[in-house]
Amino acid sequence: MIYGYYCIHPELVDDHYRVASRKQRLEKLTSLGAPDVILVNELRMYEEAKALYFDLSWFRNHVKKLYTDGVQNDILENYDAVFQDVGFDPEAAYSGIDVEFDANTRDYLRPLENLPDDAVLAFLSYTQGKYNEYLAKCAPKLDEIRDVFISRVKQFIEWERYPKLTSDNFTRLQQATIDIDDGFTTSLEECSGRYNTCLNQIVLPASRFDGKDAGVLFHEFFHALAGRTGSMSGFQRLAEFFDIKYGDAYDLIDETFVNAQSISLLSNNLPEWLKAIQFRDSKLELIIRRTGAHEIPREVFEDAYFSDNIDDVKLLADAIKAEFDPEELFSDLQSIKDIRTVDELVCEVDDKTERGKFFYEHRLDMIDAYFQYRRRKNYHMTDEEFLRLLKRSLAKISTDENQGQ
């Protein structure tokens, strides 16, 4: 899905995930009888979001920024990945206008800085066709990876590693659409992929899919498999029972669970760096389940993620209220995402990808630190017991996989 698609097809602008989520929020508040002063403000923001995706200048501004620092951008890599695979015709792409396109440097977007609006729209239409062509070529492999994912989840259900209700969401996952993104959405949001709950759509940048990379897809498939209530899914629905200001905390619980589980499904022969990420992300689950006054059963935790029934989320919320000071817990977790470490502040890495990797690793370091803090507060469990529990949890996954082979 190219960034300027809604400029070509403005009648579909309400389907854009940001516009759609704003519209759903407005409809929900209206149905709840929210005060007019709130509804007027929500309507204003909804209309502004719609206008934004009608506006071609927004796309132009981002194109201009691509060339200001001279650094190879992920967005340019996406265009190159697609055009090198399905071909590029400058005559058709630029509406026959004579531009200084360099086939060697392959700066497909640079000419757009000087083209008139109608030519830019024609370029967007041409590009969308090429992305659709590329997606059609990739579709069999994408579907194959989805089938492998579902078969492995079924194995985990058989081994009683996931609750049986997980299978209730297979139809939603099988019906989820997968789109190849040009990077103006994913790269600008600094994510390797995205699942759109409103549209049941997975968006994957072209540069992250080379025909065999299942890691990103497994992660997004887990989001599609999550239980859903309205526009929220998985652990994000904890916002229904706690303060909405802790949204980043709920996202952190959600993302670490998804990341650890998607890595578990990949293989039992993982590289050490991936095992380290899985190990640290698994700690977030144990913080919730094992560092309160009493243990929260794994079934309660996982049902809250996979179930479409909001009552299952409420069971986890009630357990958290009983075992923790929720304000303290969620404000601490919020800090893991909000607070930048000193190392980050003095980081002099210019490359965007490497800088993102650096920040991500330090986020994991902060999870480690908070894990140690919570463990020390958990007086009914020794250090040895806690470490043994964590290792046993990961070892069980590996044992289950070996049994299934």
Residue-wise pLDDT for 69-126, tens only, equals 655 577 888 899 899 999 999 999 999 998 888 888 888 998 998 899 999 999 999 9
Task: Report the predicted TM-score, pTM, of the whole model to 2 decimal places.
Answer: 0.79
Confidence label for 184 from pLDDT (cuts 50, 70 and 90): confident
Residue bearing the bigger pLDDT, 316 or 363: 316
Q: How far apart are CA 183 and CA 200, in angstroms?
A: 19
Least trusted range by pLDDT, from 137-146, 212-221, 284-293, 340-349: 340-349
3-state secondary structure of 177: strand
Q: How far apart are CA 47 and CA 52, in angstroms?
A: 9
Does the structure show a pLDDT above 50 at 396? Answer: yes
Measured at the CA of 405, the angle between CA 261 and CA 160, to 5 degrees, comes to 50
258-282 average pLDDT score: 83
Does the structure show a pLDDT above 70 at 12? Answer: yes
**DSSP characters over 328-353:** HHHHHHHHHHHPPPHHHHT-----HH
- Residue 271 is predicted with a pLDDT of 79
Q: How far apart are CA 98 and CA 38, in angstroms?
A: 51
Residue-wise pLDDT for 190-219, tens only, equals 677 888 887 888 988 887 765 556 788 899
Least trusted range by pLDDT, from 184-193, 336-345, 364-373: 336-345
Quick check: 17 and 233 in contact, CB under 8 A?
Answer: no
Confidence label for 342 from pLDDT (cuts 50, 70 and 90): very low
- Residue 360 is predicted with a pLDDT of 56
Least trusted range by pLDDT, from 18-22, 302-306, 311-315: 18-22
Which run of H or of E encompasses 363? helix 352-377
Confidence label for 405 from pLDDT (cuts 50, 70 and 90): very low
Give the residues across from 203 on adjacent strands.
179, 194
- Residue 267 is predicted with a pLDDT of 74
Q: How far apart are CA 113 and CA 60, in angstroms?
A: 7
**Residue 396 per-residue DSSP state:** H
Residue-wise pLDDT for 52-63, tens only, equals 888 888 888 888
Q: How far apart are CA 313 and CA 243, in angstroms?
A: 15
If you average pLDDT over every residue of the chain, what do you get?
83
Confidence label for 2 from pLDDT (cuts 50, 70 and 90): confident
Residue 137 tokens read as: 């070529």
